[in-house]
């Protein structure tokens, strides 16, 4: 065989090998990027879930004292940390909007329900700063139960999202 024949055989084999190698590197780079993105998303969701669980614990503590009368100072002492924690959750969700707000977690509904409750309490205390009216307590109880349910749904959705 002449040199020309060898070149006709070797050049297509070598060029195919080079093209396959380049495609392999491209796919490996995309796979690594996807893995990093998924790991980041999982870490963010785990942090968010732990914060949601802490917030839910604070809400349960509030419900324990809500049934007893004459404990306004206790209510305020538990409500203020819950309010601060909700602000922390909102900041966390705004810091990670793609992971938290664009998933099916339902945190926007929790945020909206929280706003309804705080508006309700604000309007009632604006009328009478020393105490909360019976109507406000009734409305607060209903909205509060809905918030509890929304937080539970959000935690369940977050757990489901982590497992996927």
What local confidence, expressed as pLDDT, does residue 72 receive?
Answer: 52
Q: How far apart are CA 124 and CA 136, in angstroms?
A: 7
Which region, left, alpha or beta, applies to residue 106 given φ > 0 means left and ψ of -120 to 50 means alpha? left
Q: Tens digits of per-residue pLDDT, 90-133?
A: 999 888 887 776 667 788 889 999 999 888 888 888 887 777 77
What local confidence, expressed as pLDDT, does residue 74 receive?
Answer: 64
What local confidence, expressed as pLDDT, does residue 103 receive?
Answer: 64
3-state secondary structure at position 141: helix
Residues of the chain with pLDDT under 70: 65-75, 101-103
Q: How far apart are CA 147 and CA 60, in angstroms?
A: 11
Angle between helices 3-66 and 72-95 (to 10 degrees): 170
What local confidence, expressed as pLDDT, does residue 30 receive?
Answer: 97
Query: What tokens does 116 get?
Result: 């309804």
For the chain, the domains span 41-163
What local confidence, expressed as pLDDT, does residue 139 receive?
Answer: 86
């Amino acid at each position: 065989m002449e040199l020309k024949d060898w070149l006709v055989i070797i050049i297509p084999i070598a060029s195919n090998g080079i093209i396959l190698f380049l495609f392999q590197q491209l796919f490996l780079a995309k796979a690594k990027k996807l893995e990093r993105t998924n790991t980041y998303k999982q870490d963010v969701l785990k942090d968010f879930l732990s914060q949601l669980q802490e917030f839910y614990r604070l809400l349960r503590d509030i419900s324990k004292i809500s049934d007893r009368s004459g404990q306004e100072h206790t209510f305020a002492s538990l409500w203020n940390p819950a309010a601060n924690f909700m602000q922390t959750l909102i900041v966390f969700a705004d810091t990670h909007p793609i992971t938290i707000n664009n998933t099916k977690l339902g945190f926007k509904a929790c945020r909206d329900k929280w706003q309804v409750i705080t508006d309700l309490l604000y309007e009632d205390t604006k009328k009478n700063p020393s105490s909360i009216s019976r109507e406000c307590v009734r409305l607060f109880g209903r909205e509060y139960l809905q918030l509890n349910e929304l937080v539970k749904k959000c935690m369940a959705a977050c757990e489901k999202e982590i497992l996927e």
